[in-house]
């Protein structure tokens, strides 16, 4: 396992392509990316395709995605020939209803995210023996992401790799415009961050607010726990 402190020094001002190239070379067939096909993810996927064409991308299908998101994902898989593995929760919705009652996302969003997002991904990650996990987190997205580092360890000792960490929202959209990349049509309707469709999980953001301010608004929650519990760089 590489020395994380050294890597973070090396990658402090690195371009995302350099970090991606390192990840792909260092852990062949042991690294994957997770994406819900939001703007930052599209940028990273576009960069990754210049390095390798069949890089595995995990999409967590919570069963609550907007139809627009699912259609956009299908379109991108077809047009960009992506290697996407869709992960579904082990516990079906009828079992969730039986055990936890209706509208769990409203009453206990942490438990809903745990069942439908976090557990399915971590289980698969363990089963496949992955060493590294690339995601498109950026520091400017929310207060909870300000202290992230380019390379971190999760609670299982696996590496979390954040190539786009220092990019701003403006830079992401400038890249999208420059390369004429497709995006989820919900951005045109005023959504700044797109997750599950219940309005308590994804709402339109106020202009000038944090990009993730429309996520679980009023619930005191801004993360789904997929990206929390990371150890700061050692």
Any contact of residue 100 with ligand SF4 (CB under 6 A)? no
SS3 103: coil
Q: What x-and-dash track marks residues 173-202 binding ligand SF4 by CB under 6 A?
A: ----------------------xx-x--x-
Nearer to ligand SF4, 39 or 224 (CB): 224
List binders of ligand SF4 among 2-61 (CB under 6 A): none
> Tokens 């996520």 correspond to what residue?
215
What is the closest distance, in whole angstroms, from the C-beta atom of residue 114 to ligand SF4 in the complex?
Answer: 8
CA–CA gap between residue 214 and residue 229 (Å, rounded): 22
What is the closest distance, in whole angstroms, from the C-beta atom of residue 119 to ligand SF4 in the complex?
Answer: 11
Bridge partners, residue 153, by sequence: 159, 231
Torsion, Cα 72 78 80 86, to 10 degrees, reads: 70
129 neighbors 30 (Cβ within 8 angstroms): yes
CA–CA gap between residue 137 and residue 167 (Å, rounded): 9
Helix axes 4-11, 16-26, angle to 10 degrees: 150
Nearer to ligand SF4, 56 or 198 (CB): 198
Instruction: Answer yes or no: 196 catalytic.
Output: no
Of the residues 113, 196, 201, 224, only one is catalytic, namely 224
List binders of ligand SF4 among 106-125 (CB under 6 A): 109, 112-113, 116-117
What is the closest distance, in whole angstroms, from the C-beta atom of residue 127 to ligand SF4 in the complex?
Answer: 21
Nearer to ligand SF4, 165 or 196 (CB): 196
Residue selected from 24, 64, 144, 204 as contacting ligand SF4 according to rule CB under 6 A: 64
Q: How far is CA 162 from the centre of its chain?
A: 10
What is the closest distance, in whole angstroms, from the C-beta atom of residue 232 to ligand SF4 in the complex?
Answer: 25
Give the number of residues in contact with ligand SF4, rule: CB under 6 A: 13
What is the closest distance, in whole angstroms, from the C-beta atom of residue 109 to ligand SF4 in the complex?
Answer: 4
Nearer to ligand SF4, 208 or 220 (CB): 220
Nearer to ligand SF4, 163 or 195 (CB): 195
- β strands within the chain, DSSP E: 31-34, 56-60, 83-87, 132-134, 151-153, 159-161
Residues that bind ligand SF4 (CB under 6 A): 62, 64, 105, 109, 112-113, 116-117, 195-196, 198, 201, 224
Catalytic residues: 224
């Amino acid at each position: 396992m590489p020395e994380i402190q050294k890597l973070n020094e090396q990658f402090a001002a690195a371009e995302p392509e350099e970090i991606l190239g390192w990840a792909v070379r260092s852990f062949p067939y042991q690294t994957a990316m997770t994406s819900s096909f939001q703007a930052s993810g599209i940028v990273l996927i576009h960069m990754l395709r210049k390095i390798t064409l069949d890089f595995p991308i995990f999409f967590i299908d919570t069963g609550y995605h907007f139809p627009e998101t699912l259609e956009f994902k299908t379109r991108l898989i077809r047009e960009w020939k992506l290697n996407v593995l869709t992960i579904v929760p082990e516990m079906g919705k009828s079992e969730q209803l039986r055990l936890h009652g209706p509208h769990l996302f409203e009453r206990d969003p942490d438990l809903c995210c745990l069942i439908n997002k976090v557990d399915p991904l971590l289980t698969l990650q363990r089963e496949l023996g992955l060493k590294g996990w690339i995601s498109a987190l950026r520091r400017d997205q929310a207060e909870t992401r300000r202290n992230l580092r380019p390379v971190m360890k999760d609670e299982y000792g696996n590496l979390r790799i954040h190539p786009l960490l220092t990019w701003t929202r403006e830079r992401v959209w400038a890249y999208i415009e420059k390369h004429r990349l497709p995006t989820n049509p919900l951005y045109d309707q005023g959504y700044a961050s797109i997750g599950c469709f219940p309005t308590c999980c994804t709402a339109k953001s106020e202009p000038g607010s944090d990009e993730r301010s429309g996520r679980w608004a009023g619930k005191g929650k801004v993360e789904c726990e997929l990206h929390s519990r990371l150890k700061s760089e050692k």
